Chain A
């Protein structure tokens, strides 16, 4: 499998605080890469560096390179707006816009120039179906998205990302607000999505990481401790710290 993205000696600072320390990690194409590690170890920070959303945070500073298809995305000539069309992101907290369900999903296509209503309707339906939300909302597309349950909101923001047709999807704990049934649906969804997309997912759920990911990266205190195929990480990790963490013997 090809390498879609890659970080090289990536360090990130918030003002003077070093949140990531020289992380070098490949992201394989059409595969699911799971990021695991205790709270505050830098998973969200790492994720945000992959679509330059880290630059939105005041005081954040970056060292090192991040490659997408072999090109450094922090090159001065790379437009972050164009980059973010290719590398979509689902945030840790579901954040639908205060507008209708339809407008939420149509937002991306609209700003990228799709105007025709029939085409928009088609995109919205396709994206909502892909995010396993269509059946639940098809009769209330024009009602406020804020009226959806937490789990539905989470699938809505996934549909919103899918509507832009990115190449890479970054997901920050997408299942943290979901019940077991929705979680299972979401995992099925991710399984399907990886045929077309490259997926990076942060999760605190070890079983989930084991179930859905092909590769796993274990972070600790801003360092990448270990990266390998998921089955190796979960059966024969090289590092003692990895083993302690995934078996829950940490701390």
Chain B
């Protein structure tokens, strides 16, 4: 009787102990991630907040002149913010539809042999450094676009968008393809058995079921585009002017930070302004992430009573 009780207690404590341990380890790692994020943000704030006693936050974001070398210097970041938005939005509009279409083709229509070959090639493309993309954009794409649209210079937001789109495509395609192939075959079979064609099944069942994952794939691809510096620096025209169309030269936030950081004095006004840009970039990224999370939430489509 006594021994039996001991055995029972030991058995019931052991799994609980490991359960707790694993839980705590997970909590610790999750906590660390959040902590690091906060530290980065605080570092940005600490280095950058000084700029806002020189220009107001409003003038910093909406000001149209970025002239760090003049006396007195002017720090209006709108050309850079708009430059980043143009290039990112442009790249998104090009890369997401194409990327998802290619993924759908690979997952749903391509013969198995072709699929394997193409997947391998695409994953290889994801590993090419961005400088190479920038170089190809500069030497091949830009002259072509110059011809095509009869421009005086093809180094503009449009060209940069295409280069960024090409860069983010491999990521979008390979993740989307993975997401699509993990949609349970039961869904496809149910749809086919109800007399849907393969194409209807793909459009109305497979893609909606994979929606959350597809959005994540797009985000990861775009994330690469927003944060990209080198390629953009090479093909975007690199002019700190307020762009009015996709064919105007632009400089993005990241490109500007990279281009000017070397000339600054540590802790100086210009240095602080660049960190101010970092804060803006951080906030923009945060907002985009937040918005896509809302977009990806399953409940929305459900409430409207439509397809997911």
Contacts and interface: CB of A to CB of B under 8 A. Distances in A.
B42 interface: no
Contact of B195 (A84, A98, A102, A141): A84
Contacts of A161: 194
Contact of A142 (B194, B305, B307): B305
A142 B302 contact: yes
B307 A108 contact: no
Nearest to B192: A56
Interface in A68-113: 81-82, 84-85, 88-89, 91, 93, 95-100, 102-103, 107-108, 111-112
A111 B195 contact: yes
A221 interface: no
A84 B186 CA distance: 16
Given A56-B189, A93-B186, A97-B187, A108 B194 contact: yes
B89 to A, nearest CB: 30
A102 to B, nearest CB: 6
Q: Which of B193, B194, B195 has the most CB of A within 10 A?
A: B193
A157 B189 CA distance: 12
Interface stretch (B201-209, B235-243, B252-260): B201-209
A155 B287 CA distance: 43
B197 interface: yes
Q: What is the interface of chain B mostly: helix, strand, loop, or mixed?
A: helix
A164 interface: yes
A95 B195 CA distance: 16
Q: How large is the interface on A (under 10, 10 to 19, 20 to 34, 35 or more residues)?
A: 20 to 34
Contacts of A102: 305
B294 interface: no
Contacts of A107: 191, 194, 196, 204
A21 interface: no
A164 to B, nearest CB: 6
Contacts of B301: 99
Contacts, number: 78
Given A84-B194, A84-B195, A91-B186, A99 B303 contact: no
Interface in B76-123: none
A236 to B, nearest CB: 37
Given A81-B195, A160-B194, A98 B308 contact: yes
A143 interface: yes
Nearest to A166: B195
Contacts of B194: 84-85, 88, 107-108, 111, 160-161, 164
B204 A95 contact: no
B225 to A, nearest CB: 30
Contact of A100 (B191, B209, B305): B305
B10 to A, nearest CB: 37
B58 interface: no
A9 interface: no
A112 B195 contact: yes
Interface in B170-223: 184, 186-197, 200, 204-205, 208-209
Contacts of A51: 193
B213 to A, nearest CB: 12
B306 A103 contact: yes
A114 interface: no
Contacts of B204: 107, 111
Interface of B: 184, 186-197, 200, 204-205, 208-209, 298, 301-303, 305-308
Can you list the 7 inter-chain pairs with the closest CB atoms, starting with the nearest? A85-B195, A95-B186, A142-B305, A89-B193, A108-B194, A84-B195, A95-B190
25 contacts: A51-B193, A56-B188, A56-B189, A56-B192, A84-B193, A91-B189, A91-B190, A93-B186, A95-B184, A97-B205, A98-B209, A98-B298, A99-B208, A99-B301, A99-B308, A103-B305, A107-B191, A108-B195, A111-B196, A111-B204, A141-B305, A142-B303, A143-B302, A160-B190, A160-B194
